[in-house]
């Protein structure tokens, strides 16, 4: 395997990736809480981990990718479960909410061409295991029962494991520097930093399970500790999620796993950064939010037109997963031009063929490092923007070879094949892009129709029917399809 460096949020630096088991990778990513439609920031995070998953597969690892569905236990500030709250609002059963938004989440992932995870467990399907982990933590003296709820005992945990706060950078002194007055509203907890691993359900709460402590439901943080352990073992390679999950969710996961199993769960913690709109954090109060659907339809005051899912995916690849990403109409328009240029280059590269074998070429030494560059960048903490930039260096060479500005005869057969393989592998297999510019993404059907019209136009030109020839060309241009006449015939491309 090639050497891969990953930025580990736990250590705060890049580390050489060394899997726990040779040739295998266990990866757990926090999935959605299915009480509402997935937002664009979530999409960015899931696309980032989709690329990570694809890249590990390409490197030859056997990957087990687990991404959960949270369908119970994710509490709001009010203490009410988000699923139950939404069910009351829509006046349907909680599991109807779960089914509705799980289906819509999967639909959105397909639209953006994400590969499904190997396992997608749901919290409600693992209640028994969550109850068992609560018992283990209690038995180990790191939790306590109070008025039917069970709380994780942070102060006791810190006496044995001084690692709480390391992932998020929280100072323990700040967490513990409180008085009894700070327990107002939390009278059943010993300390405000303690968190629920089992909650006693209020009488009106629909989602509830019987235990020796109460009829209730698990805390939000518990499910990921249980499901990651069940499917990946007590220790596994990568745990991923958004930056906003570092505290308290991931910090509490580490504490729970350590309290129950004696070891922290993941070797590498990988976090994606937030999405901005015109330089500001997206917020309903600021009026600067935008949904995937609004991007697809153009029905938003923040953009001038609609953008396809693959243009949006391409746009997201232009920023490193650890960097903030600023979405704007200008940036999306630039991404659309770049995406179109890449798609056209992939069509052009298939037309590059030697009339006779070329074993060695004078341009080989120039092209070889350009071919190797995208892989080099991806091996440096999955650096998609630099890998894309390297790919476009190849695109420039492909266009120059096609236009005759560089002699194709000076490129050997192996190097030419490597150019083709690199462009296709990175675009389709690693970056997960596809050509969706035609309706329904059916470019084969579009190509067949355009070729038919090109033939009609060629016959018209042969008959010197210039009016018909110009009419076909102009009509296609109005539809966004540009014709280009050359010595080898007429080719077409989507107008950018």
Q: pLDDT tens digits for 130-164?
A: 999 999 999 999 999 999 999 999 999 999 998 89
Residues 146, 79: one domain?
Answer: yes
Q: At 492, is the secondary structure helix, strand, or coil?
A: strand
191 and 63 inside one domain = yes
pLDDT of residue 22: 94
**Residue 286: CATH number of its domain:** 1.10.730.10
For CA atoms 239, 245, 246, 247, give the dihedral sign: negative
In a shared domain, residues 392 and 464: no
User: Both 477 and 426 in a single domain?
Assistant: no
- pLDDT for the residue 54: 98
Contact (Cβ atoms closer than 8 angstroms) between residue 177 and residue 280: no
Question: What is the per-residue pLDDT across 379-413, written as a single tens digit (0 to 9) for each?
Answer: 999 999 999 999 999 999 999 999 999 999 999 99
Is 357 inside any structural domain? yes
* Residue linked to tokens 């067949």: 448
Tokens coding 119: 């396992």
Per-residue tokens: 234: 């007590």
Residue 33 lies in a domain: yes
- Check whether residue 451 and residue 409 sit in a common domain: no
pLDDT for 478 beyond 90: no
Confidence bin at 182 (pLDDT 50/70/90): very low
The confidence band for 177, taking pLDDT boundaries of 50, 70 and 90, is low
4 part of a folded domain: no
In a domain, 15, yes or no: no
Q: Which of 272, 302, 318 represents a domain boundary (last residue)? A: 272
Within-domain flag for 8: no
CB atoms within 10 A of CB 299: 12
Q: How far apart are CA 281 and CA 283, in angstroms?
A: 6
Number of Cβ within a 10 Å radius of residue 319: 20
DSSP state for residue 75 in the 8-state scheme: B
Q: What percent of the chain has pLDDT over 90?
A: 67
Q: Let me know whether 424 and 448 are in one domain.
A: no
Same domain, 203 and 297: no
H helices of 60-189, in order, are 82-90, 94-111, 127-139, 154-160, 172-176
Q: Assess whether pLDDT exceeds 90 at residue 127.
A: yes
Residues 334, 413 within the same domain: yes
Does some domain include residue 459? yes
For 17-76, write each residue's pLDDT tens digit.
999 999 999 999 999 989 888 889 999 999 999 999 999 999 999 999 999 999 887 766
pLDDT of residue 136: 98
Q: Does 199 share its domain with 66?
A: yes
For residue 12, tell me if it sits in a domain: no
**Considering 272, 299, 323, which residue would you say is the last residue of a domain?**
272
- What are 238-265's pLDDT values in tens digits? 999 999 999 999 999 999 999 999 999 9
Number of domains in the chain: 3
pLDDT at 187 over 70: no
Q: Phi-psi region for residue 141, left (φ > 0), alpha (ψ -120 to 50) or beta?
A: left
What secondary structure does DSSP assign to 12-74, as a single string? Answer: TEEEE---SSTTEEEEEE---BTTSPPPHHHHHHHHHHHHHHHHHHHHT-EEEEEE-BB-S--
Residue 456 CA, chain-centre distance (Å), reads 45
State yes or no: pLDDT of 185 exceeds 60.
Answer: no
Q: Pick from 410, 430, 450: which residue ends a domain? A: 430
Domain boundaries, position 449: 439-494
Same domain, 56 and 121: yes
Look up the CATH number of the domain holding residue 261: 3.40.50.620
Do both 200 and 285 map to the same domain? Answer: no
The mean-pLDDT minimum among 226-235, 437-446, 481-490 falls in 437-446
Q: Are residues 131 and 234 in the same domain?
A: yes
| In-domain check, residue 10 | no
Mean pLDDT within 114-127: 96
Helix (H) or strand (E) holding 240: strand 236-242
What does the pLDDT read at residue 269?
98
Are 470 and 478 within 8 A, CB to CB?
no
| Residue where the block lists tokens 């509830």 | 208
Place of tokens 């997201």: 316
Q: Which of 61, 108, 374, 106 is nearest to 238 (CA)?
A: 61
- According to the model, what pLDDT value does residue 184 have? 43
Considering Cα of 147, then 152, then 158, then 164, what sign does the dihedral take? Answer: negative
């Amino acid at each position: 395997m090639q050497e891969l460096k990953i930025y580990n949020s736990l250590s705060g630096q890049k580390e050489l990736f060394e899997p726990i088991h040779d040739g295998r990778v266990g990866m757990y990513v926090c999935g959605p809480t299915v009480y509402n439609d997935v937002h664009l920031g979530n999409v960015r995070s899931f696309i980032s981990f989709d690329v990570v998953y694809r890249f590990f597969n390409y490197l030859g690892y056997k990957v087990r990718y687990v991404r959960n569905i949270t369908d119970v236990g994710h509490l709001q500030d009010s203490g009410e479960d988000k699923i139950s709250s939404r069910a009351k609002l829509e006046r349907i059963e909680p599991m109807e909410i779960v089914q509705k938004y799980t289906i819509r989440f999967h639909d959105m992932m397909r639209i953006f061409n994400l590969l499904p995870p190997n396992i997608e467990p749901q919290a409600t399907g693992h209640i028994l295991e969550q109850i068992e982990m609560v018992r283990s933590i209690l038995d180990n003296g790191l939790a306590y029962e109070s008025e039917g709820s069970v709380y994780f005992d942070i102060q006791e945990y810190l006496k044995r494991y001084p690692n709480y706060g390391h992932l998020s950078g929280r100072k323990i002194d700040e967490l513990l520097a409180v008085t009894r007055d700070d327990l107002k509203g939390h009278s059943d907890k010993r300390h405000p930093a303690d968190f629920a691993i089992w909650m006693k359900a209020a009488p009106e709460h629909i989602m509830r399970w019987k235990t020796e402590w109460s009829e209730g439901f698990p805390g939000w943080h518990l499910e990921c500790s249980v499901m990651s352990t069940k499917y990946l073992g007590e220790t596994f390679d990568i745990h991923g999620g958004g930056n906003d999950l570092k505290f308290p969710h991931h910090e509490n996961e580490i504490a729970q796993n350590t309290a129950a199993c004696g070891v922290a769960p993941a070797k590498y913690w990988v976090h994606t950064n937030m999405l901005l709109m015109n330089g500001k954090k997206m917020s309903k109060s600021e009026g600067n939010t935008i949904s995937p659907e609004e991007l697809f339809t153009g029905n938003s005051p923040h953009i001038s037109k609609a953008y396809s899912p693959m243009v949006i995916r391409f746009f997201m690849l232009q920023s490193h997963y650890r960097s903030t990403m600023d979405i704007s109409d200008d940036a999306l328009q630039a991404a659309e031009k770049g995406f179109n240029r890449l798609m056209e280059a992939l069509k052009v590269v298939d037309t590059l063929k030697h009339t006779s074998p070329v074993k060695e070429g004078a341009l080989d030494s120039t092209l070889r490092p350009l071919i190797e560059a995208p892989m080099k960048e991806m091996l440096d903490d999955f650096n998609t923007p630099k890998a894309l930039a390297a790919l476009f260096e190849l695109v420039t060479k492909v266009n120059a070879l096609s236009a005759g500005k560089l002699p194709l005869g000076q490129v050997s057969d192996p190097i030419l094949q490597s150019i083709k393989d690199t462009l296709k592998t990175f675009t389709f297999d690693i970056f997960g892009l596809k050509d969706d510019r035609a309706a329904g993404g059916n470019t084969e059907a579009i190509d067949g129709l355009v070729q038919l019209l090109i033939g009609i136009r060629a016959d018209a030109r042969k008959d010197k029917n210039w009016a018909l020839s110009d009419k076909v060309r102009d009509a296609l241009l109005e539809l966004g399809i540009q014709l280009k006449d050359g010595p080898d015939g007429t080719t077409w491309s989507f107008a950018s």
